[in-house]
Amino acid sequence: MRVEFVTNGTLAQFAQRGEAERADVIVCGFQALGEVSYERELKGETGLFYDVALLSRERACTVVSGCFTDARGMKKKSVVVAERGRVLGVSDMLNRLDGSRFCAGAGVKIFETNAGKLGIVVAEDLYFSRVVETLSVCGADAAVCVFEQFTEGMEPLLARAQAFLCGIPVLLCGYGYALIADIAGKVRFASAQSPCLFDLEKEQAYHLVETRRRGIYRSAGKKF
């Protein structure tokens, strides 16, 4: 899977550059679309989601882009996913931190694409380990996290830890920086350039894990 990260500039600016090398997945930070009003999109006053779908058709690939969605005053951090000219869906950040102006969403999403099953992690949901764990348990081939602005080394560390613990690569894209952590917890790729490309090999490793615990009583002779 060839991944291209766009960590600077708008989606329109990136599209105008023309196709240099073909990518299977293009991942863009929040700066690519900015704020998207559902009401204005439906009225045809803006066409930001259309632009994402159009880019995915022109490049014959999957496009994943962060954005700030506005549903009549309810603002959320979101990620839109499109493939080959069609918007597959929008995933919202699940967790609201310290009374943030961004509302909480509902449910994690995995999108089946030609590049594989991509699980979406939106911004600060990276701080909650159960999000990536759920994506892994539900069969995602990789977790794609679109972040806004990185703090001092925290997000790359979390990406590495969760890739190791959950057994799926974590692709991290934010303003001015992109990173891929593999299932060994190592940084496979990191770059401050925009755009930047990396060929990611599919990795799957399964292990038998046994745990002794109290409870779940079974009487003699009874079988589950």
Q: What is the structure's pLDDT at 183?
A: 95
Q: What is the structure's pLDDT at 21?
A: 75
Of the pLDDT bands very low, low, confident and very high (cuts 50, 70, 90), residue 97 is: confident
Mean pLDDT score, 208-212: 86
Q: What is the structure's pLDDT at 209?
A: 85
Residue 182 pLDDT exceeds 70: yes
From the number of C-beta atoms within 10 Å of its C-beta (0-12, 13-18, 19+), residue 111 rates as buried
Q: What is the mean pLDDT of the chain?
A: 91
Q: SS3 for 40?
A: helix
Q: Cβ(33)–Cβ(63) under 8 Å?
A: no
Residues 6 or more apart whose CB falls under 8 angstroms from that of 153 comprise none
> Could you say which DSSP state residue 31 is in?
G
Mean pLDDT score, 55-84: 95
Inter-CA distances, 11 with 23, 33, 85, 207, 217, Å: 15, 6, 15, 41, 57
Q: What is the structure's pLDDT at 104?
A: 87
Q: What is the structure's pLDDT at 223?
A: 61
Of the pLDDT bands very low, low, confident and very high (cuts 50, 70, 90), residue 220 is: low
Other C-beta atoms lying within 10 Å of the C-beta of residue 108? 22
Q: What is the structure's pLDDT at 51?
A: 95
Q: What is the structure's pLDDT at 222?
A: 61
Q: What is the pTM of this model?
A: 0.89
List the helix and strand counts (H, then E) for the chain: 5, 13
Residue 224 pLDDT exceeds 60: no
Q: What is the structure's pLDDT at 20?
A: 66
Mean pLDDT score, 201-216: 83
The tens digit of pLDDT for each residue in 127-173 reads 999 999 999 999 999 999 999 888 878 999 999 999 999 999 999 99
Residue 188 pLDDT exceeds 60: yes
C-alpha angle with apex 140: 137 to 143, nearest 5 degrees? 105
* Torsion sign (Cα): 34, 38, 41, 43: negative
The tens digit of pLDDT for each residue in 38-66 reads 999 999 999 999 999 999 999 999 999 99
